[in-house]
Structure 1
Amino acid sequence: MTVNDSMLLSGLDVLPSQVAILDGTGDIVFTNRAWREFPTETGAVADDHVGTNYLEVCEAGGDDEASRIADRLRALLDGDRERVSVEYFCPTPRGDRWFTMRGIEFEESGERYALVMHVDITNRKQSEIGLRNQNAQLETVAGLLSHDLRNPLNVALGRAELVESEHAEPLVRSLQRMESIISEALEFVQSDETATTRTVELRKRANRAWEQVETDDAELSVAGSTEFEADPQLLNHVLENCFRNAVEHGSASPRSHANEDAVDHDERTVVVGTLDLEDGFFVADDGRGVPVEDRDRVFEDGYTTAATGTGLGLAIVQRIADAHGWRVRITESESGGARFEIRF
Structure 2
Amino acid sequence: MGSERNQERRTETFSELNQFRDAIIQSANVWINTLDEEGNVTLWNRAAEEISGYPAADVVGDDNIWARLYPDDEYRREILCYVGEILQGEKAVEAFETTITTRDGSERIISWNSHAIVNAEDELQGSVAVGRDVTERRERERQLRRQNERLNEFSNIVSHDLRNPLTIAQGYLELARTECDSDHLEDVDIALTRIDQIVNQTLALARHGRTIDKKESTDLAQLAEHCWETVDTARGKLEVDDLPRTNADPRALCHLFENLFRNTIEHGGDDVSVRVGSCEDGFYVEDDGVGLSADLAEEIFEPVASGGGETAGLGLAIVKRIVEAHGWQIRATESTSGGARFEIVGIDPTE
Cα distance change of structure 1 residues 67 and 100 upon mapping to structure 2, 3 Å threshold: farther
Instruction: Determine if contact 2:87/2:115 at 8 Å carries over to the other structure.
Output: no
Residue identity in the other structure for 2:99:
F
CA distance in 2, matches of 1:145, 1:304: 17
Deviations 1:104-137 (CA, angstroms, capped at 9, x unpaired): 4445797723222432211111111111111111
Q: Indicate which of 184, 195, 203 corresponds to 1:167.
A: 184
1:190 aligns with 2:190: no
CA distance, structure 2, for counterparts of residue 342 and residue 143 of structure 1: 31
Cα 1:88/1:310, change in 2 over 3 Å:
farther
Establish whether residue 222 from structure 1 lines up as the match of residue 233 from structure 2.
no
Fraction of identical pairs, as percent: 33
Per-residue deviation, residues 49-81 of structure 1 (Å, max 9, x unmatched): 3333379858984335x4453344323323344
2:312 to 305, 310, 313: 310
Task: From the superposition, tell whether residues 297 and 304 of structure 1 become closer, same or farther in structure 2 (CA, over 3 Å).
Answer: farther
Aligned to 2:137: 124
Q: Please give the alpha-carbon distance, in whole angstroms, between the structure 2 residues aligned to 1:289 and 1:305.
A: 21
Query: What is the SS of the residue equivalent to 2:73?
Result: coil
Letter in 2 for 1:89: T
Q: Is the 1:55–1:74 Cα contact (8 Å) retained in structure 2?
A: no
Give the conservation status (yes or no) of the 8 Å contact 2:71–2:101.
Answer: no
User: Contact between 1:36 and 1:49, CA under 8 Å: does it hold in 2?
Assistant: no
Deviates more, 1:220-229 or 1:2-11: 2-11
Q: CA deviation at 1:336?
A: 1.2
Deviation at residue 40 of structure 1 after TM alignment: 5.3
1:153 aligns with 2:140: no
Among 288, 292, 310, the alignment partner of 1:290 is: 292
1:207 matched to 2:225? The reply is yes
Distance 2:317 2:33 in 1: 48
| Number of aligned positions between the proteins | 322
Aligned-partner Cα distance in 2 for 1:167–1:102: 71
RMSD: 3.5
Q: What is the distance in 1 between the residues matched to 2:136 and 2:22? A: 28
The one-letter code sitting in structure 1 at the alignment partner of 2:271 is E
67 and 320 in structure 1: CA distance in 2 versus 1, 3 angstrom threshold: farther
Q: Equivalences for 1:1-344 in 2 at 5 Å?
A: 2=15, 5=18, 8-9=21-22, 12-13=25-26, 17-33=30-46, 35-36=48-49, 49-53=59-63, 57=67, 61-64=72-75, 66-90=76-100, 94-106=105-117, 112-163=125-176, 164=180, 165-191=182-208, 192-250=210-268, 252=269, 267-275=271-279, 280-302=282-304, 308-343=310-345, 344=347
Shift of 1:94: 4.4
Residue deviations 1:236-287, cap 9 Å, x none? 000001001111110x3xxxxxxxxxxxxx73222223346xx533222111
Structure 1 residue 235: Cα displacement: 0.8
SS in 2 for 1:73: helix
Quickly say closer, same or farther: Cα 1:166–1:270, change in 2 above 3 A. Answer: same
Q: Secondary structure at the match of 1:296?
A: helix
Residue 95 of structure 2: SS of its match in structure 1?
Answer: strand
Q: Structure 2: any 5+ residue segments left out of the alignment?
A: 1-13
Gaps of 5+ in 1: 253-265
Instruction: Indicate if the aligned counterparts of 1:142 and 1:186 stay in contact, CA closer than 8 A.
Output: yes
Structure 1 residue 181: deviation in Å? 0.9
Q: Give the 3-state SS of the residue equivalent to 1:88 in structure 2.
A: strand
Q: TM-score, normalised by structure 1?
A: 0.78
Q: What is the DSSP-based 3-state SS (H/G/I as helix, E as strand, rest coil) of the residue aligned with 1:341?
A: strand
Question: How many Å separate the matches in 2 of 1:54 and 1:102?
Answer: 21
Tell me the TM-score normalized by structure 2.
0.77
* Aligned partner of residue 224 in structure 2, secondary structure: helix
The worse-fitting range, judged by mean Cα deviation, of 3-12 and 334-343 is 3-12
